[in-house]
């Protein structure tokens, strides 16, 4: 009986110690040192050099929620792009022509980068990207202040998030 109680306790200690330690990567608070080609032109952009206030959106044409939110992001950019930049990163795209069609259909005019190899995924501070869409908020100093997997449903929702995480008034 005593042996049955000890085994779960040891397993619990091992599990908890694995969760609290181990990640030896330094904490990164700026966009990763990854260069990506500009959508369409191919000109390389080093993410680490970008400053905000900015919202970074990871998307792909095969992602239904991404396609639904892109017109909302385009409307946000049209209304507030002079105060908060929007940057779209086309992540792990499998069919470039479909991405181009989605961009045209959605009315997107904000800057877009291509990441067909998924270089930003798991490049600190970004987590391993397991789903889309994904947002990161970058303040005026270039600090990533917040990241989350979220589908933006309205311009007002993105205004609220921008004001909360970028210390701006829109």
Strand, coil or helix: 114? strand
pLDDT of 28 reads 64
User: Taking the complete model, does pTM exceed 0.85, yes or no?
Assistant: no
* Domains of the chain by start residue, with CATH: 29-166 (3.40.30.10)
Residues 6 or more apart whose CB falls under 8 angstroms from that of 99 comprise 39, 60, 61, 90, 93
Q: Which residues pair with residue 143 across a beta bridge?
A: 30
Look at 21-35, 73-87, 133-147 and tell me which has the smallest mean pLDDT.
Answer: 21-35
Query: Both tokens of residue 44?
Result: 């390389």
Question: Which DSSP state fits 132?
Answer: S
Question: Which DSSP state fits 47?
Answer: G
Question: Which DSSP state fits 5?
Answer: H
Residues 6 or more apart whose CB falls under 8 angstroms from that of 44 comprise 35, 36, 37, 38
pLDDT in tens, 39-96: 878 899 999 999 999 999 999 999 999 999 999 999 999 999 999 999 999 999 989 9
pLDDT in tens, 90-129: 999 989 999 999 999 999 999 999 999 999 999 999 999 9
């Amino acid at each position: 009986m005593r042996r049955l109680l000890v085994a779960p306790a040891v397993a619990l200690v091992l599990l908890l110690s694995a969760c609290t330690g181990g990640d030896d990567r330094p904490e990164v608070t700026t966009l990763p040192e990854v260069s990506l080609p500009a959508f369409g032109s191919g000109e390389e952009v080093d993410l680490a050099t970008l400053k905000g206030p900015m919202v970074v959106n990871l998307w792909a044409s095969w992602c239904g929620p991404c396609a639904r939110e892109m017109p909302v992001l385009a409307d946000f950019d049209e209304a507030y792009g002079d105060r908060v930049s929007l940057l779209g990163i086309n992540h792990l795209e499998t069919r470039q022509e479909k991405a181009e069609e989605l961009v045209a259909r959605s009315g997107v005019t904000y800057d877009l980068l291509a990441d067909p190899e998924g270089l930003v995924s798991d490049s600190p501070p970004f987590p391993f990207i397991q789903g889309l869409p994904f947002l990161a908020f970058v303040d005026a100093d270039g600090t990533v202040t917040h990241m989350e997997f979220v589908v933006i449903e309205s311009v007002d929702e993105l205004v609220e998030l921008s004001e909360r995480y970028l210390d701006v008034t829109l």
